[in-house]
Amino acid sequence: MEAIFGSLHLLGAIFIHGPMTIFPMTAMRAIRTGNTASAATLTKSTNLFSWLSLIVALFGAALVSFVDPADNLRFGTPWLAASIALYTVAVTLSLAVVVPALRRATAGIGTDGKKSYGLVAASSGIVALLLAAVIVLMVWRP
């Protein structure tokens, strides 16, 4: 079971967190070029993949429960607790800041859409860095 949940957790991280990180950056290009339809689609996709990322967390939680007890891995293990905290901040930032800012920027294309552009760039960049830190912690396991 550990191998199954480990694989599902890793696949989810790749195929859900990847798009969640890249879509806002692609949406910024659509906003710059005035492509409202593309920006709207990418905004909806960012929102969807941010919510779907909870599946990755669930697979990770399941994985922890199936790890060999000799590995001494618990939710309170420092690197795992830090990973959970960083992930929580990343998803919250994506849903509470990135997605609303993308919606405002998309709605304002052609008028004042670039007002939210800086917020999208900064907050989505922070989300990407937080998720990168989670990956480093998951691989390194300090």
Find where tokens 């008028």 sit.
111
| DSSP 8-state class, residue 95 | I
The structural domains of the chain, with segments of one domain joined by +, span: 2-140
Does residue 113 register a pLDDT over 70?
no
Which value, to the nearest 10 degrees, does the dihedral of the CA atoms of residues 135, 137, 138, 140 take?
110
Minimum mean pLDDT range among 35-49, 56-70, 108-122: 108-122
Contacts made by residues 76-79, CB under 8 angstroms, sequence distance 24+: 78/142, 79/137, 79/140, 79/141, 79/142
Mean pLDDT of 127-139: 95
Residue-averaged pLDDT of the chain:
92
CA distance 80 to 73: 8
CA 18 to chain centre: 7
CA distances for 141 relative to 69, 82, 127, angstroms: 16, 11, 21
